[in-house]
Amino acid sequence: MARPITPELVLTGYLRGAFPMCEPESGRVEWFTCDPRALVPLDERFRIAQSLSRVVRSGRFQVRVDTAFEQVMANCASDRGPDNRNWIGPEITEVYCELHRLGFAHSVEAWRDGKLVGGLYGVALKGAFFGESMFSVRGAGTDASKVCLVHLVDRLRRGGFLVCDSQYANDHMARFGVYEVSAKEYLSLLEDAVETDARWDVEGDPLQGR
């Protein structure tokens, strides 16, 4: 019998470089690692296209933090194309919502006209943030997840985080300067990060409305 997934097990997995995903056919939770590992840069290597920078400054979206975590997860779970099957099953949802209640899992949300139109979620553990998924609603939410990522990186920088894990590299994330390191180097960076007392709750949001 598979071992039940718990918040403690997820956090331990992260510390060992592993992360859980649901097998779409059976719904069973499996553990994964990747080599190389993709990281979102938290320094000058993070890139923002001029067009996106204008959207961020425009205030098109109201960006909130941790006000609709379960909604963000639900949207991420349903925001899957035919070639990208859903890996966020009920068991994953339940354990991450519990991690949110415990203060480890967080969401960054884009709102427009009172509606949630984009967002992302992940887990903060000491000086490391483990990004899990993001979504945008077509039409009203165009660029919403990208704006949330920009706000996330700003928050992590101001909070003193050292690592922002993106797991796998893809073309969408590459435009932000996401880079890859070996699994061995990743674990070394992670070791330093979890010895750092970073803060998720930082004052203000200097990007909002600019």
206: pLDDT strictly greater than 60: no
pLDDT for residue 25: 76
State the CATH number of the domain containing residue 61.
3.40.630.70
Q: Is residue 209 part of a domain?
A: no
CA 164 to each of CA 26, 123, 167: distance values in angstroms, whole numbers, following the listed order: 30, 10, 9
The answer as to whether 99 is a domain residue is: yes
Nearest-angstrom CA–CA distance, 148 and 195: 26
Residue 139, in any domain of the structure: yes
Averaged pLDDT, 63-82: 88
- Give the model confidence (pLDDT) of 77-119 as tens digits: 986 554 455 789 999 999 999 999 999 999 999 999 999 999 9
What value does the mean pLDDT take over residues 198-204? Answer: 86
Q: Does residue 32 lie in a domain region?
A: yes
In contact, 23 and 166? CB cutoff 8 Å: no
The answer to whether residue 37 is domain-embedded is: yes
pLDDT of residue 1: 43
Q: 3-28: per-residue pLDDT in tens?
A: 789 999 999 999 999 999 998 777 78
User: Which residues span the domain enclosing 184?
Assistant: 7-193
| 16 is a domain residue | yes
Number of domains in the chain: 1
Q: Within a domain: residue 176?
A: yes
- Would you say residue 199 lies in a domain? no
Among 33, 200, 4, CA closest to 102: 200
